[in-house]
Amino acid sequence: MRTAKDTKDVGHYIGGAHLLEADAPRQAIYDPATGESARSVVLGGAREVDLAVEAARSAWRGWAAMPSLRRARVLDEFRRLMNERREVLARVISSEHGKTHEDALGEVTRGIEVLEFAFGAPHLLKGDYSEGVGGGVDAYSVRQPLGVVAGITPFNFPCMVPMWMYPMALACGNCFILKPSERDPSASLLMAEWLSEAGVPPGVFGVVQGGRDVVEALLSHEGVSAISFVGSTPVARHIYATGARHGKRVQALGGAKNHMVILPDADLDMVTNALMGSAFGSAGERCMAISVAVPVGEALADALVERLVSRIGDLRVGPASDGASEMGPLVTAEHLSRVRGYIEAGVSEGASLVVDGREFRQTLQGYEGGYYLGGSLFDRVTPEMSIYRDEIFGPVLGVVRRDSYEEALSLIRGHPQANGVAIFTRDGDAASAFARDVEVGMVGVNVPIPVPMAFHSFGGWKGSLFGDHHVYGEEGVRFYTRLKAVTMRWPRGQREDPEFVMPTLG
């Protein structure tokens, strides 16, 4: 079996085969743990998109005509391969993203959960039937695939986020083209190879590596019927507007600024543990990371900050190769610089920098050049500050103090992004009211990262989602299919005169 490691460079996967062009432009792939590069990714453009779409369109009729149960069985074989080789995939993810091995394994597991839900697509595709809606007239509806669809995915989950998309798309009878992040592209090739090994026909799943040129080509290509995207809010807005202008169905998930409201009756040990994991897990490079803690009351805020200072000081930062690491490096040197810039901005804007992650220095031999940053904690953050308004996407937690539950709720309502939110309390009435009244797409009650299970659907509100459909779950089936209604009658020999009025069947 040929794998992505068999060549120095990472290329495309089109028509069931690797495509690695010698004269194409390339971009270095870095190991965030060391800062070194041993490989590069080939950057495609409109030509490679054309090739992938042509291969997908050639394969689509046969794949769509395959009984849905057989498609599910092919995906089940892929699930078996994923489970069998999850360690391999997790190591590849860690080597290019930087997250710890256990975190990478967790990502793979959550992706497989969506795959397992996709096995049930035959049930969700079966449609409805009504007999005798009129004189000798029956009616039924079915859901049919769109054709060729594409996914544009971010660096932070090179396995899980694509699996939010393509298992549902394939199970529904579509062909899928993946444009992964060029920062950590190797996982996409492993998944493509294993899908082929599981029995997915050539062309049904393709991978085109690249940057903006590939994105724009997918958005404008007449052979692509739908686009799924996960990334920042400005790019999501552009993806949605451009795709819609070209007549495509689009779901574009944008950025986030996730709050955790802590009420005075909350268990502070539970809160502290939850904040540590949700703010600093995966170095904060998660769209569901909690980046704003909102304690209600000065006494609670003082106690929480004191606990966090102690815990952040003990945070074990290091490479994935060190099993004791709780947080790895950031993904690139550029992103490290960006996050450091936000810390500097927070200080200049008047927030209190209680713990400065810039003081962290990697001491393990061979890892001094990695993109490491310790956890940072700001207190007395205000809504006007950039560290509150913007998605930092790094290990930076801000504390915004509020005097009442109502003030905390109003704070959240005022933010333009509304992806995820959490409340920690022992008060069932307060929790129920919060879940009902907060204007955010995903809510956790004593759960810091409320990512829905695969049989529900993932998506935010306001600037965190552009389009009508969330991803995976039943929403995924609705997005990747179109509804067709059929009304039929078989003549029984009687002659009918023409009707010139609106027909009524009842």
Give yes or no: 159 in active site. no
The answer to whether the CB of 201 falls within 8 A of the CB of 16 is yes
Query: Token pair 């003082």 is at which residue?
Result: 302
The answer to whether the CB of 305 falls within 8 A of the CB of 351 is no
The answer to whether the CB of 145 falls within 8 A of the CB of 481 is yes
Q: How far apart, in whole angstroms, are the C-alpha atoms of residue 469 and residue 254?
A: 13
Q: How far apart, in whole angstroms, are the C-alpha atoms of residue 484 and residue 106?
A: 38
DSSP run (H or E) holding 275: helix 268-280
Q: Which amino acid is at 175?
A: C
110-128 in b/e burial notation, b at 16+ Cβ within 10 A? Answer: bbbbbbebbbebeebbeee
The answer to whether the CB of 314 falls within 8 A of the CB of 477 is no
* φ, ψ dihedrals at 209, nearest 5°: -80, 155
Q: Which amino acid is at 348?
A: S
First-residue to last-residue Cα distance in the chain = 61
Tell me the two tokens of residue 369.
Answer: 């050049």
- What's the DSSP call for residue 296? B
Q: Which of 159, 172, 175, 287 is catalytic?
A: 287
Q: How far apart, in whole angstroms, are the C-alpha atoms of residue 123 and residue 479?
A: 16
DSSP run (H or E) holding 138: strand 137-145
Q: How far apart, in whole angstroms, are the C-alpha atoms of residue 90 and residue 60?
A: 31
| Helix %, strand %, coil % of the chain (to 5) | 40, 20, 40
Q: Parallel, antiparallel, or unpaired for β 352-355 and 420-424?
A: unpaired
DSSP count for the chain of H helices, then E strands: 16, 23
Q: How far apart, in whole angstroms, are the C-alpha atoms of residue 468 and residue 456?
A: 15
SS (H, E, C) 316-342: CECCCCCCCCCECCCCCHHHHHHHHHH
**CA distances, 440 to each of 229, 281, 418, 460 (Å):** 19, 22, 5, 6
* Dihedral sign, Cα of residue 405, residue 406, residue 409, residue 410: negative
DSSP run (H or E) holding 204: none
Q: What are the residue numbers of the active site?
A: 287
